[in-house]
Amino acid sequence: MSHVPLGLISIVILLLHAAGILAAAHALMHTRTPQGAVAWVFGLILLPYFTLLPYLFLGSKHFSGYAELHQSRQARKRTLTDANCQALSRQHPPHPDAQRYAAISAMLGVPFLSGHHLRLLINGATTFDAIFAAIAAAEHYVLVQFFVIHDDELGRRLQAALLERAAAGARVYLLYDGVGSHALPNSYAAILRAGGVQVHPFATRRWKNRLQLNFRNHRKVVVVDGWRGFVGGLNVGDEYLGKKPPLSPWRDTHMELQGPAVADLQMAFDENWHWITGEQLQLLAPRVTDGPATSLIAATGPADEQETCSLFFVQLIHAARERIWLSTPYLVPDSALNAALQLAVFRGVDVRILIPSRPDHRTVYMASTLYAHESVRAGIRVFRYQPGFVHQKVMLIDDDTAVVGSMNLDNRSLRLNFEISALNVDEAFAGEVEAMLRKDFEQAVEIGGNDYAHLPYLYRVAIHVARLFSPVL
């Protein structure tokens, strides 16, 4: 029996520690939060045998080129003081109540504009019926982007719809996330390309990068002919239609908007397309509508100079005067969000959060459980939805503001993922969202202030351990 020389083992250990120190220096300089930096630095220096490989997948930040492209495009885009932007604002003056969200507009460099028709799309069947009907009516082009696409019944319906429009002469562009859609076979894209559809996986590096699991593109965007836009929480897979127990029925929400903000929706797609292909798309301006709603498209991500997704939520919460109702599948907020929600309670705001009663990711669910109990102790009302899994990302502020999009209340959405949502100021649309959420809360069980004490001791230990992984959940 052969033995590995001790000298070789010593050399390997020294090399691992040297690599750990170099990686720790990288983590110290590039990790966004102090908590994350401390965790990586100590882990990489003391236990490089266990942390080096995870750091390659989760800690390393490989999209400096994308960030430079994003920031240069942002600089070239209109600013809030640009003449074209001011002309748009005169043509589509925002609702006066949108002024309380002016910080969001300034942060993103995107104006609030009126003139929108909005349509709330509840659950998968309604959403995809609307999306497929819009695609079938496309005359010029179709832009489609999803985090997850499966090669199942719904995925093949999307494939057929895109192939039909390409055959009819429309330009068809499809982006999907390379990690979120890791199970999608190469044949799916090959069939689309053979039929004239331009399709690419999104990655923060233009070449294949298996070592980049963070910084995923979690956006769900469909734009048809530049004037019909769709955004929300649904991906493309049979589970989103509630066809895969034990999570079914699947509860989710999307929306359609028509109006000037669709230009920003398709600009977000175009930036991703430009990064992957090096090409900029020829896009049409949205059609003028007489819709009453004021809307803004919030596209956020780790290429931004600020943590725009976290700041987006914090400003919404601080602006609330009477009510904050929100629904999220993952309740793993950062300290800024926690503080904002607690302060809202002290202001007398009705704060309610809807979360799942069934897990799709066990560790996230356990961490969310602890945050839920701590929120209840702070005066926030937290409810667990009972019929099935709730995946919707919806927020209702007071009686006039509703947000629908892809943003979760977890570290991935707040700091690691590219996200997109529509922020809408319109009493009629907010009323529809209120009715929808009220029905959801009626089908939920409220977490009580003493429920934590009744949890088994070992389970309480487990959820505290799960929370330690919050920065990477």
CATH code: domain of residue 132: 3.30.870.10
Instruction: Give long-range contacts, CB 8 A cutoff, 24+ apart: 101-104.
Output: 101/296, 101/315, 101/316, 101/319, 101/401, 101/423, 101/425, 103/311, 103/315, 104/296, 104/298, 104/311, 104/312, 104/315, 104/316, 104/423
Residue 256's DSSP bridge partners are: 119, 230
pLDDT of residue 49: 73
Residue 253 CB contacts under 8 Å (≥ 6 apart), including other chains? 120, 121, 122, 123, 232, 233, 234, 327, 392, 393, 394, 404, 436
Q: Of residues 200, 393, 400, 410, which has the active-site annotation?
A: 393
Mark which of 248, 278, 299 sits at the end of a domain.
299
Mark which of 42, 59, 76 sits at the end of a domain.
59
Shared-domain flag, residues 391 and 321: yes
Read off the pLDDT of each residue in 430-439 and give the average, rounded to a whole number: 98
Shared-domain flag, residues 411 and 464: yes
Distance CA 354, CA 72 (A): 38
Q: Of residues 92, 391, 400, 440, which has the active-site annotation?
A: 391
- 213 inside domain: yes
Distance CA 243, CA 237 (A): 9
N- to C-terminal Cα separation, the chain: 44
Reduced to 3 states, what is the DSSP secondary structure of residue 363?
A: helix
Shared-domain flag, residues 266 and 377: no
Q: Of residues 252, 264, 270, 398, which has the active-site annotation?
A: 398
- 353 inside domain: yes
Shared-domain flag, residues 78 and 159: yes
As a whole number, the mean pLDDT across the chain is 89
- 320 inside domain: yes
pLDDT of residue 88: 76
Evaluate whether 271 touches 70 at the Cβ level (below 8 Å). yes
Q: Of residues 70, 218, 254, 373, which has the active-site annotation?
A: 218
216: left (phi over 0), alpha (psi -120 to 50) or beta: beta
Residue bearing tokens 């959820």:
463
- Alpha carbon 296 to chain centroid, angstroms: 16
Catalytic annotation present for 150: no
Evaluate whether 340 touches 369 at the Cβ level (below 8 Å). no
pLDDT tens digits for 361-414?
Answer: 899 999 999 999 999 999 999 999 999 999 999 999 999 999 999 999 998 899
- 289 inside domain: yes
Shared-domain flag, residues 393 and 374: yes
Residue 413's DSSP bridge partners are: none
For 217, the enclosing helix (H) or strand (E) is none
Q: Of residues 177, 225, 264, 270, which has the active-site annotation?
A: 225
Catalytic annotation present for 439: no
pLDDT of residue 306: 87
pLDDT of residue 211: 47
pLDDT tens digits for 321-377?
Answer: 999 999 999 999 999 999 999 999 999 999 999 999 999 989 999 999 999 999 999
Catalytic annotation present for 398: yes
Structural domain of 35: 6-59
Q: Tell me if the bond preceding 387 is cis, omega within 30° of 0.
A: no
Residue 207 CB contacts under 8 Å (≥ 6 apart), including other chains? none
Q: Of residues 70, 116, 220, 254, which has the active-site annotation?
A: 220
Shared-domain flag, residues 267 and 176: yes
Is residue 59 very low, low, confident or very high in pLDDT (cuts 50, 70, 90)?
A: low
pLDDT tens digits for 270-312?
Answer: 999 998 888 989 999 999 899 999 999 999 998 888 899 999 9
- Cα-flanking dihedrals φ and ψ of residue 356, to 5°? -75, 160
> DSSP assignment, residue 149?
B
Shared-domain flag, residues 287 and 420: no
pLDDT of residue 265: 96
Distance CA 124, CA 330 (A): 19
Residue 355's DSSP bridge partners are: 384
Catalytic annotation present for 451: no
- 1 inside domain: no
Shared-domain flag, residues 55 and 68: no
Shared-domain flag, residues 37 and 105: no
Catalytic annotation present for 200: no
Mark which of 266, 299, 332 sits at the end of a domain.
299
Distance CA 233, CA 28 (A): 34
Shared-domain flag, residues 462 and 340: yes
Catalytic annotation present for 252: no
- 377 inside domain: yes
Total domain count, the chain: 3
Shared-domain flag, residues 289 and 382: no
Read off the pLDDT of each residue in 415-440 and give the average, rounded to a whole number: 97
Shared-domain flag, residues 49 and 69: no
